[in-house]
Structure 1
Amino acid sequence: MKPFALTLPGDVRFGAGRAAEAADVVARAAGEGGVLLVTGSGDRHAAPLRERLEKAGVTVTTVRVVGEPTVDAVGDAVGTARRAGVSAVLGVGGGSVLDTAKAVAALVGNGDPLDHLEVVGRGQALSGPVLPWVAVPTTAGTGSEVTRNAVLTAGRVKVSLRSPALLALAAVVDPDLLQGLPRDPLVHGGLDALVQLIEPLISRRANPVTDALARQGLAASLRALPRAAAEGTDDPEVRADLALASLLGGVCLANAGLGAVHGLAGVAGGMLGAPHGALCAAFLPAVLEADLAALRRAPDPVAQGRLDALGPLVTGDPQAGAEQAVAALGALVRDLGVPGLTELGLRDADVDELVEGALAASSTKANPLPLTREEFTTAVLASR
């Protein structure tokens, strides 16, 4: 067995009706100071927590996140937090909100974002204090509530602020907050979670703990995602499965890495502005086909075994292998109506830039085996 390490969140609270606990946790963390509430454009889930904090005598300053979090928007939020003198952060929303909340918590005491961002910045380690922050996800997909990186947009590039210090003080996952979520964010989030369970399973950095969690999460995802797409989230079991899949996907990606699907999707997201989960799903079947082609070129029994193990997990057939898993996942993507890359905005002129970016992406490094430029290009063209 290869050596491995785990970085795990210290306080995860999962269950229907538990969202209110987040206010109590962040109030204790803030002490005599105020709380920065980071949320989206709506107030349905944030308002009860704000009211609970204010009734407890906590000063609350609100920042709203609209669209993908940009470096400039995070810089503005950091300025707001400093002026308000907050001592804790509460993020209530989807992945963009939670990434903003953790980035602000990290940067209030650590200077210029460009000192610490990968790719576009200097990538320096955080040296100053990081504010405690509490995550309350209102969508199911990114797993950002339990990851140690914040993904921000800088121009046409998505980049990460990354540190173990970015782990939330507490992640309060209340599946009931998914009720009434529109179909597109529900399906796109569910597909993101699905890929974030599959890629850690086949990752070259996989370990026994992430394997166990990913298998549990994958079963929940495949059980719930088609029902959620067809019926919505009225069924509490569907809500619980989606929330669990997202949570476990976050833990797995934080500890086993991702792969070439996310390498491509991260770059494409910065270029096209398309929904991340839709991009992941659009790339998934073709990238898995590229992995199989790479295995024929350079046989690797470990990678082959991991890809073949997807067969029974995805199809339910104990005799199925990687090819059957790829076919089943392709059928699922089609059944859910995921658009191809052309519909998502990719032009022929973008292909080379996309491939170059994916080859250099940090996610790509954990792919089960290296893909050539030609294999990446073939996968992109097949995903159109």
Structure 2
Amino acid sequence: MSGTGFEFATATRILYGAGRLAEAPEAVKALGGHRVLLVTGRDATRAAPLREGLERLGLGTVLLPVAGEPTVDRVREGTALALAERCDAVVAFGGGSALDAGKAIAALATHGGEPLDFLEVVGRGQALTSPALPFVAIPTTAGTGSEVTRNAVLGVPEAQVKASLRGPHLLPRLALVDPSLLEGAPPGVLAASGLDALSQLIEPLLSVRANPLTDALAREGIRRSARSLRRAVLDTPDAAAREDLALASLLGGLCLANSGLGAVHGFAAPVGGMFEAPHGAVCAALLPATLEVNLRALRSRAPAHPSLARFQELAQLLTGQASARAEEGIAWVRELCAALSVPGLGHYGLTEADVPRLVSKARVASSMKANPLPLTEEELTEIALRSR
């Protein structure tokens, strides 16, 4: 846990609430741009009303659909398109993939260079020092929290890994979160994205970089996710459930951007690079075993560690029981994953023979640095095997 000092950084402005999408065109125009690169997911039709609203205000739009999770090559193409079309603002409307692609393009369009110059782990890791194009993030799923984070996760297929561009200039100028955009989302999408959001609330609460501000946000987000996620996936989600999920995702993004994550996301980045696997579903598959191994490691090697008490608090937040023990919280997570039919990593192609290579990649992932304590190779191997 952090000591007396900490930093908290987020989007310049956050708009939250049902129906707020209607405010997006005026908000984009107020940022001063005249020609907008509109980044969407694979299906751009949902963004049609937003595009029409921008054009009614006299803003030109250039469409860039991003099919699947963003890669270095797709970001190169998007940056070239933004420059060729003389775009002076970027709006991303979609899931985390669209948001991360838009974020990266907005930064690279002003900075020059190419993604591998700035990418962590497999790139040159140079700092992004120039302000980005004005960037607006509008999530249509409730999972990644990318609308308020200062990194963009990109796939590098040739290295079979995902890695981040990172820096304060990646923070959006505006994050607009409208829970009504979750209406009609398929149950599988709600499950995967919702469990991603939950893991992005749990890991910052346990993180070695946790601070009082992110602690408060994580507690609120965990309560909301715990009371609404199962109901939203297994029944028809009502407006209250959609609000809980959207806000839990937003709070998770605020937490991870300022307190870091842990071993779940340390594994998720290489898994996503090695296999065609949705990020949220990967995090869900990893969460129960990662919590169990971390708890055992803390008890055996660091019995005075402050994260131990937080495991008990986590159990109380998840179960709603003031007397809940750490193991009961982990059991609650495992039962939730079972109820939501979360597949193991073997579903995406991970075999026992892949585990040593996965562990080797996970050890150097940036998210591992915030795990409650460094895990041994044996412990990491156990997590990978038990998550299959």
2:131, 2:169 within 8 Å by CA — same for their partners in 1?
Answer: no
Which residue does 1:283 correspond to in 2? 286
Residue 218 in structure 1 maps to residue 222 in structure 2: yes
AA matched with 2:223: A
- Paired with 2:213 and 2:202, the residues of 1 have a C-alpha distance of 14
Residue 138 in structure 1 maps to residue 162 in structure 2: no
AA matched with 1:22: A
1:93, 1:137 within 8 Å by CA — same for their partners in 2?
Answer: yes
> CA-to-partner distance for each residue in 1:204-241, whole Å, 9 max, x for gaps?
100111010001011111111101111233x1111101
Residue 326 in structure 1 maps to residue 327 in structure 2: no
Which residue does 2:72 correspond to in 1? 71
AA matched with 1:13: L
Which residue does 2:26 correspond to in 1? 24
- Paired with 1:170 and 1:303, the residues of 2 have a C-alpha distance of 33
Which residue does 2:89 correspond to in 1? 88
Query: With structure 1 as the length reference, what TM-score do the two structures score?
Result: 0.97
- Paired with 1:224 and 1:332, the residues of 2 have a C-alpha distance of 12
| Secondary structure in 2 matching 1:20 | helix
Which one of 146, 149, 162 corresponds to residue 147 of structure 1?
A: 149
AA matched with 1:3: G
Query: With structure 2 as the length reference, what TM-score do the two structures score?
Result: 0.96
- Paired with 1:113 and 1:275, the residues of 2 have a C-alpha distance of 22
Which residue does 1:305 correspond to in 2? 309
Which residue does 1:34 correspond to in 2? 35
Shift of 1:20: 1.9
Taking the TM superposition and a 5 Å limit, the aligned residue runs for 1:1-384 are 1-31=3-33, 33-111=34-112, 112-155=114-157, 156-233=160-237, 235-301=238-304, 302-384=306-388
CA RMSD of aligned residues (A): 1.2
1:26, 1:89 within 8 Å by CA — same for their partners in 2?
Answer: no
- Paired with 1:98 and 1:141, the residues of 2 have a C-alpha distance of 12
> CA-to-partner distance for each residue in 1:128-179, whole Å, 9 max, x for gaps?
3310100110011000000010000001110100011111111110001110
* Unmatched tracts of structure 2, length 5 or more: none
2:42, 2:68 within 8 Å by CA — same for their partners in 1?
Answer: no
| Secondary structure in 2 matching 1:76 | helix
- Paired with 1:44 and 1:21, the residues of 2 have a C-alpha distance of 19
- Paired with 2:377 and 2:204, the residues of 1 have a C-alpha distance of 22
1:108, 1:131 within 8 Å by CA — same for their partners in 2?
Answer: yes
Structure 1, 289-298 or 198-207: larger mean CA deviation? 289-298
Shift of 1:300: 3.7
- Paired with 2:290 and 2:196, the residues of 1 have a C-alpha distance of 15
Seq. identity, %: 55
- Paired with 1:128 and 1:165, the residues of 2 have a C-alpha distance of 7
- Paired with 2:374 and 2:318, the residues of 1 have a C-alpha distance of 24
2:205, 2:215 within 8 Å by CA — same for their partners in 1?
Answer: yes
AA matched with 1:340: G
Shift of 1:41: 2.4
Shift of 1:318: 1.1
| Secondary structure in 2 matching 1:342 | helix
